Amino acid sequence: MKSHPNSSCFIYVAMLLFSSIFVLIIGGCSFPQKMSAEKGWIPLFNGKNLDGWTVKIRGYELGDNFGNTFRVEDGVIKVAYDQYDTFNERFGHLFYKDKFSHYILRAEYRFLGEQTPGGPGWAFRNSGLMLHCQSPESMAKDQNFPVCIEVQLLGGNGTDERTTGNLCTPGTHVVMDDKLVTQHCISSTSKTYHGDQWVTIEVEVRGSEIIRHIMDGEVILEYEKPQLDEGDADAKKLIRGPDLLLSEGYISLQSESHPCEFRKVELFVLDE
């Protein structure tokens, strides 16, 4: 069969049109934007070791990882107590090396196993993401917790309701509804996470302006103006002048007597 002299031109034009439409369709989809956004996340944990992190455990010198409390196994940070006879108030914190001010922190965590003998009742399935922390070098040897804003992580007991992503304030205060809040812990509106399931939480931190706790895309707690508590002995050592607001600080993970794991700890820097 003899082809039309212009058929090759028609085919070429049709191919160009199809290619253009395909590019437009692909460009309009959401997944390239998501892929691009994911590229902005900085992994603070490399999945292999604790490079970039420093341990501070109450009663021990900075860097002394008593009982191998913080370790990396199977690609996760494990907070473990298999080398403890009793907890004995050895509250621990694992500090990342850099300070941050405006960012989103995202972590995946879970609780598992039994609480260590000697751990306080309130520390059952209890850990935390400590934000705007003082430096680990500035902590006293016997200091329980760094002066910071704590995003409290809690697990359920299998029966009762228990929110996670709460706020606790060691050596600090915050403002909510234009009022200074001096209460130590404030509950979020999260659901309860029972068992050993992995849980993802995000925290949006904008310096000394506003902090939001986020789970499943919903804000579960929000507050403003994180600041030093003038009446706290540890915070008093950090006060430099009349401005008490906390605009930056270190990030640490907490050890409070119940085994837990962190599978992912990553950060997205926001514009100031």
User: What are the residue ranges spanned by the domains of the chain?
Assistant: 1-39, 41-269
CB distance 70 to 123 below 8 Å: no
Q: 143 CB contacts (<8 Å, ≥6 apart)?
A: 58, 234
3-class SS of residue 204: strand
pLDDT score recorded for residue 2: 42
229-240 pLDDT tens trace: 999 999 999 999
What is the pLDDT of the chain when averaged over all its residues? 90
**What is the CATH T-level fold of the domain 41-269, as seen in this structure?**
Jelly Rolls (2.60.120)
Task: For residues 188 and 162, give the distance between their C-alpha atoms in angstroms, rounded to a whole number.
Answer: 10
User: The tokens of 142 are what?
Assistant: 């016997």
Other CB atoms within 10 Å distance of the CB of residue 88: 13
pLDDT at 245 > cutoff 90? yes
pLDDT at 135 > cutoff 60? yes
CB distance 72 to 78 below 8 Å: yes
Q: 40 CB contacts (<8 Å, ≥6 apart)?
A: 268, 269
Percent of the chain at pLDDT > 70 equals 86
CB distance 125 to 159 below 8 Å: no
Q: How confident is the model at residue 32 (pLDDT cuts 50, 70, 90)?
A: very low
pTM for this one?
0.85
